[in-house]
Structure 1
Amino acid sequence: MNQTSNVRQRQLAAAPRGVGFMCDFYIDHAKNAEFWTPEGKRYIDFAGGIGVLNTGHLHPKVQQAVADQLQKFSHTCFNTVPYELYAKVAEKINARAPISGDKRTMFVTSGAEAVENAIKIARAYTKRRGVIAFNGAFHGRTNLTMALTGKIAPYKVDFGPFPADIVHAPYPNALHGVSIEDALHGLHNIFKCHLAASDVAAIIIEVVQGEGGFNVTPNEFLRALRQLADEHGIVLIFDEIQSGFARSGKLFATEWTGVEPDLMTIAKSLAGGFPLSGVVGKEVIMNAPVVGGLGGTYAGSPLGLAAADAVIDVIETEKLCERATVLGNRLKERVNSLKQTIPEIAEVRGPGSMVALELVKAGTSEPNAEMTKKVQQLALENGLMILTCGQYYNVIRCLYPLTIEDNVFDEALNILEAAVRQAQ
């Protein structure tokens, strides 16, 4: 029995089946955009821990920052014994967040925890209960964030009931027949039939949907949300958990929109693979909860903050926002050339290096989940790991490290092209 088979048997005997996994192999070690199995097989990583590794596996500066912090202390609980790193990284985020005026940043551990705290803060500020999210959204796996998530399988199956006063609105998606006008009509219908506008604490939306299919929210729709929020005293929250930290070609995808949220949630590539998330927003809103109302045992881990401090420096010194645009354009150019001869490619979209391919059945607009899965499997067999997403499971998303070497990137594009052609 080889090592992989042995580990698989142990896992099946020790862990529940609900903890799903995509690959039938295990990682042994990794560097930048590549990883290797215990048997020595190499893979190019176009998943990046689901958007966590914009600076790559074990970036030397991030690795060194965490190693240095480990020589000092690993944990105190910030609510008990605070440390300077929290203030330092909060200052960096405040200085860079695309929100005008005085800002505050708090740190927690996971993306879902950041979203929960953003909702708590909005409710404390408005003294209201209702929250509006959107179809196709993904905001997390806790009870509250499952309620906000606009996709049932596999995230919400058998896990209800969910919190009340959360309503989903249509998400504008022209490819699937939902116009901006349709989406706005759906919002106004909510105010008539489900929640009075005066009872809504927050509207939360992803600037670019992640799990929903890398759908780019139209700027016109975001402007309408801003106007609606201002009109009714609603807190507007942008979820930047997957789209942040250079992935879109800007530090935050919000910067492409010209629209300011009141709060933003951040996580994933914030700390280059170490658990850290946060909420950044307007001072008057962030300061609404009572003293002691925000926090958590591991909230603002010193190891995660050390990593985040280094990640922000790496993004700026290595010009990863610019690199995201260069790589994304190369990927889109390659796939758009394929689109000329492969009618199953309905759309290639996304800002910077947040790029997706949506596949349909040739000659129709019907989602092609079967071909999408086949592309993923063929790519994996040839040493490239890619992810799928979308409400209909028919979208291929690319989340490679922005630090990927050019020759490795070209190799990956060759594998991806071959997989798409073979999957027809």
Structure 2
Amino acid sequence: MTDRAELPPIPPSRQVVTAIPGPRSLALAERRAAVVAAGVSSAVPVFLERGHGAIVVDVDGNRFIDLGSGIGVTTIGHTDDAVVAAASEQLRRLTHGMFTISAYESYVRVAELLAEHTPGDHAKKSVLLNSGAEAVENAVKIARKHTGRSAIAVLEHAYHGRTNLTMAMTYKAMPYKAGFGPFAPGIHHVPGSYPFRDGLSGADAAARTISHLEKAIGASDLAAVVAEPIQGEGGFIVPAEGYLAAIQDWCTANGVVFVADEIQSGMARTGRLFASEHLGLVPDVVLTAKGIAGGLPLAAVTGRAEIMDAAHPGGLGGTFAGNPVAAAAAVAVFAEIERRDLLAEGRRIEATLRPALLDLRSRHPVIGDVRGLGAMLAIELVHPGTLDPDPAALASVVRFALEHGVLVLTAGTYGNVLRFLPSLATTDEQLLDAVGVLDEAFAAL
């Protein structure tokens, strides 16, 4: 086995040396087809071998500028040195303890850091888990136990996971829900705020949502409203100003738990530690996952102490939940965010990338909207002069970018959104080089 220190450094630039996919990726695809379930699809046809910072390398030696970060997981960069060191040291000491049987410090330290850094100065407690969907499920459990109510409201265009309960909470049927029902009951989809398409002010969109909550569900039956401050898979939708604050105020007035799903938008992604801070929110419960542990599986539900303590002893937890190696990595992530001032890096990325994307829009009328915050930006593609989605153009652009060494992701209920989730280690040079490739891709349309 090759020691990490012996691996050659990865040059910080893209380079394509084979056809995409290359011969080794094609060979692995054949092996995959024989043994991996067809439902586990991949967005790009290459197999990755290494990565560092903003660059990933496939098994054929092609280097890509990664503008997806594993859908926002490697937020502080691939194989971050501090994360690797912390996880490696923990692997030498204790790989598993099952916190609900025998506790260990790193779990407690992550909970302390979450209590310190999530919005609000009230007393908070956390439960650590394995994945974003598991965090959502536990938030629902806790809210129901705390309120004694059963109904859960989620917004149109939301994505919350692929378990049975979270499929019910996810808006888009294909590919996440189609044919997998029946789903968990008690979930209600309500209109949200999509400024590019509905044209509503925050106040008007909130009035529409609240009317639905009151008339179609009833506040007395509603345990929680679960909302992404910036909707992820739905298309990086930033709500109109004041929208979510009005929803939170309504929740507080009616004894409804307001849950902010920050699984994709949290952990320094938007230039603040949590996107809720941009929107003036102090959620009752905050959900984190993805970027919290630098690539290791970890998630958390953090909330007001009186809400979190509603669950009886033994009601929360899991075999691998809050694994000590993942928890040690999360402690390192928090430390690196502070040491490297990664919040400022998120703002730097927006200051570089947003103007470049706006420039693309000025020259390519297929781009209907540019939106997002920090290192969580997107462009929505439409048939020029309309709001009609253009998913075919998106597919062409993504393919062109991949063939030229840039890895980008798609999103959106209508399959027409190009989303950018670069790591906070991505340089301005890498960002502008990638945008240059996209410019060529749009020109080729």
Task: Please state which band the TM-score falls in when normalised by the shorter chain.
Answer: over 0.9
1:358 aligns with 2:401: no
1:16 aligns with 2:37: yes
1:149 aligns with 2:151: no
Q: Which residues of 2 match residues 189-268 of structure 1 at below 5 A? A: 189-193=212-216, 195-268=217-290
1:65 aligns with 2:119: no
What amino acid is aligned across from residue 191 of structure 1 in structure 2? E
Q: Determine which of 311, 320, 328 is the counterpart of 2:333.
A: 311
Per-residue CA deviations over 1:105-153 (Å, capped at 9, x if unaligned) read 1100000000101111101100110000011000011000111111111
What is the TM-score with the length of structure 2 in the denominator? 0.92
Question: For the residues of structure 2 that align with 1:192 and 1:35, how far apart are their CA atoms?
Answer: 50
Contact 1:99 1:262 (C-alpha < 8 Å) held by counterparts: no
SS at match of 2:369: strand
SS at match of 2:227: strand
User: Which residue does the alignment assign to 1:348?
Assistant: 370
* Residue 421 (structure 1) shift: 2.3
Per-residue CA deviations over 1:171-204 (Å, capped at 9, x if unaligned) read 11122126242553244234323x2210100000
User: Which residue does the alignment assign to 1:128?
Assistant: 149
* Residue 362 (structure 1) shift: 0.9
Question: For the residues of structure 1 that align with 2:142 and 2:29, how far apart are their CA atoms?
Answer: 42
What is the TM-score with the length of structure 1 in the denominator? 0.97
Contact 1:265 1:279 (C-alpha < 8 Å) held by counterparts: yes
User: Which residue does the alignment assign to 1:87?
Assistant: 108
User: Which residue does the alignment assign to 1:110?
Assistant: 131
Contact 1:99 1:281 (C-alpha < 8 Å) held by counterparts: no
* Unpaired segments ≥5 residues, structure 1: none
Larger mean CA deviation between 404-413 and 27-36 belongs to 404-413
* Residue 5 (structure 1) shift: 2.5
Aligned residue pairs, count: 422
User: Which residue does the alignment assign to 1:172?
Assistant: 193
User: Which residue does the alignment assign to 2:70?
Assistant: 49
* Unpaired segments ≥5 residues, structure 2: 1-21
In angstroms, what is the RMSD of aligned CA positions? 1.4
Question: For the residues of structure 2 that align with 1:268 and 1:66, how far apart are their CA atoms?
Answer: 16
Contact 2:206 2:247 (C-alpha < 8 Å) held by counterparts: no
Q: Determine which of 70, 78, 82 is the counterpart of 2:99.
A: 78
* Residue 89 (structure 1) shift: 1.3
Contact 1:271 1:305 (C-alpha < 8 Å) held by counterparts: yes
Tell me: CA distance 1:3–1:174, structure 2 relative to 1, closer, same or farther (3 Å). Answer: closer
* Residue 333 (structure 1) shift: 0.5
Q: Percent identity at matched positions?
A: 39
SS at match of 1:71: helix
Contact 1:170 1:178 (C-alpha < 8 Å) held by counterparts: no
SS at match of 1:350: strand
SS at match of 2:93: coil
Contact 2:129 2:299 (C-alpha < 8 Å) held by counterparts: yes
SS at match of 1:343: coil
SS at match of 2:152: strand
Question: For the residues of structure 2 that align with 1:37 and 1:354, how far apart are their CA atoms?
Answer: 24
Q: Determine which of 87, 107, 117 is the counterpart of 1:96.
A: 117
SS at match of 1:156: coil
* Residue 405 (structure 1) shift: 3.0
Question: For the residues of structure 1 that align with 2:432 and 2:23, how far apart are their CA atoms?
Answer: 32
SS at match of 2:142: helix
* Residue 353 (structure 1) shift: 1.1
What amino acid is aligned across from residue 220 of structure 2 in structure 1? S
What amino acid is aligned across from residue 432 of structure 2 in structure 1? D
SS at match of 2:277: helix
Contact 2:356 2:432 (C-alpha < 8 Å) held by counterparts: no
Question: For the residues of structure 2 that align with 1:236 and 1:83, how far apart are their CA atoms?
Answer: 30
1:376 aligns with 2:398: yes
Contact 1:375 1:420 (C-alpha < 8 Å) held by counterparts: yes
SS at match of 1:358: strand
SS at match of 1:28: strand
Question: For the residues of structure 2 that align with 1:118 and 1:315, how far apart are their CA atoms?
Answer: 26
Larger mean CA deviation between 110-119 and 183-192 belongs to 183-192
Question: For the residues of structure 1 that align with 2:278 and 2:294, how far apart are their CA atoms?
Answer: 23
